């Protein structure tokens, strides 16, 4: 029997659902998935960045409802410390929280211009200046982390940071954003991660489509 419920939406389109799902799996929490259809008006608005993110992901565990991705990560770190969702070293924990916070609250230009869509591939896409600046900042974060940790993960082993940036890797594939060096190796690491393989296979099996996400912005 599942010990928790994770409320998510479309595995093809919902980057926040992916983050929450990865975190629960990394923590070893036995979950039941409850899926809100993209056709739900509130869910559709959230996926299209027209409303704040509050519906998904939502973790229901031990009588609690935790609906913010960072809050879910911190909660899982507290109840499952053996999963090492945050680095052991205090300074590295601070760095990890900082880059996770940046992903959580920033990069709006990239999010808007390059929505997550695992079904699609827009070959030869050229991001506008705002999205390009976000991409460059992300590549700088990855490079700095990987040079410090020596890889293959941002902090040497899978942490909240890898879950937070995993959907960006899918966006780079969908929107044909090229990477090199340690960033390219990190992207391959994420794509080959068994958890990501499992999620991707489920996403590709979904029949749902949101017209707004099927067009090149």
Judge contact between 172 and 133, C-beta under 8 A: no
Q: Can you tell me the distance from the alpha carbon of 44 to that of 95, in angstroms, rounded to the nearest whole number?
A: 33
pTM (two decimals): 0.92
pLDDT (tens digit, 9 = 90+) per residue, 99-140?
Answer: 999 999 999 999 999 999 999 999 999 999 999 999 999 999
pLDDT for residue 216: 43
- Our measurement of the distance from residue 108's CA atom to the centroid of its chain's CA atoms, rounded to an integer in Å, reads 14
In order, the DSSP letters of 159-216 are: -HHHHHHHHHHHHHHHTT----HHHHHHHHHHHH-HHHHHHHHHHHT-----HHHHS-
Which residues are paired to 59 by β-bridges? 6, 66
CA separation for the pair 193, 186 (Å, rounded)? 10
Confidence at 217, pLDDT banded by 50, 70, 90: very low
Task: For the chain, list the domains and their CATH numbers.
Answer: 4-83 (3.40.30.10), 90-201 (1.20.1050.10)
Residue 19: pLDDT band (50, 70, 90) is very high
Predicted pLDDT of residue 56:
85
Alpha carbons within 13 angstroms on the beta-carbon side of residue 63 total 0
Residue 2 binned pLDDT confidence (cut-offs 50, 70, 90): confident
pLDDT single digits (tens) 163-212: 999 999 999 999 999 999 999 999 999 999 999 999 999 999 988 566 66
- CA of residue 132 relative to chain centroid, distance: 19
Return d(Cα 153, Cα 17) in angstroms, integer: 21
């Amino acid at each position: 029997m599942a010990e928790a419920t994770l409320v998510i939406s479309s595995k093809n389109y919902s980057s926040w659902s992916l983050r929450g799902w990865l975190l629960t799996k990394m923590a070893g929490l036995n979950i039941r998935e409850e899926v809100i259809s993209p056709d739900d008006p509130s869910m559709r608005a959230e996926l299209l960045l027209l409303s704040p993110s509050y519906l998904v992901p939502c973790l229901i565990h031990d009588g609690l409802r935790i609906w913010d991705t960072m809050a879910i990560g911190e909660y899982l770190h507290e109840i499952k410390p053996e999963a090492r969702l945050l680095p052991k070293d205090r300074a590295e924990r601070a760095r990890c929280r900082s880059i996770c916070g940046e992903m959580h609250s920033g990069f709006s230009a990239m999010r808007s211009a390059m929505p997550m869509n695992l079904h699609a591939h827009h070959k030869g896409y050229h991001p506008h200046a705002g999205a390009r600046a976000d991409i460059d900042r992300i590549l700088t974060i990855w490079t700095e982390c990987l040079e410090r940790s020596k890889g293959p993960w941002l902090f040497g082993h899978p942490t909240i940071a890898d879950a937070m940036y995993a959907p960006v890797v899918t966006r780079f594939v969908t929107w044909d954003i090229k990477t090199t060096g340690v960033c390219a190796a990190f992207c391959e690491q994420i794509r080959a991660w068994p958890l990501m393989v499992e999620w991707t296979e489920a996403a590709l099996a979904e029949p749902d489509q949101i017209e707004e996400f099927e067009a090149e912005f």
